[in-house]
Amino acid sequence: MHTGDDNDLSIADAYQHFFDIEKNYYSWLCDRPLKPLRYGDYESNVGIFCPLIIWRNVVITRSLKQC
């Protein structure tokens, strides 16, 4: 990154999962109570994660940083 500005950073994640828990059943995301996983509490990560939703969250986050 030549400018040093975090807003110039692109997001690249070579290992991504996309989930739509309204259309598909994933036991580790849909069943309650959530089962403990080795990564800790993941309640905040339970939801719909598709490319459009993720990109929307990136745009919102970048906008908030500029306020």
Residue 25's pLDDT is: 92
Residue 34's pLDDT is: 86
End-to-end CA distance of the chain: 23
Tens of pLDDT along 4-61? 676 766 666 677 778 888 899 988 888 988 888 887 888 877 888 888 887 887 777 7
Beta carbons of 47 and 39 less than 8 angstroms apart = no
Domains of the chain, by residue range, sit at 6-65
**Count of residues for the chain?**
67
Residue 46's pLDDT is: 84
Cα distances (angstroms) measured from residue 32 to each of 18, 21, 36, 49: 20, 13, 11, 19
Residue 39's pLDDT is: 77
The structure tokens listed for 49 are 């994660």
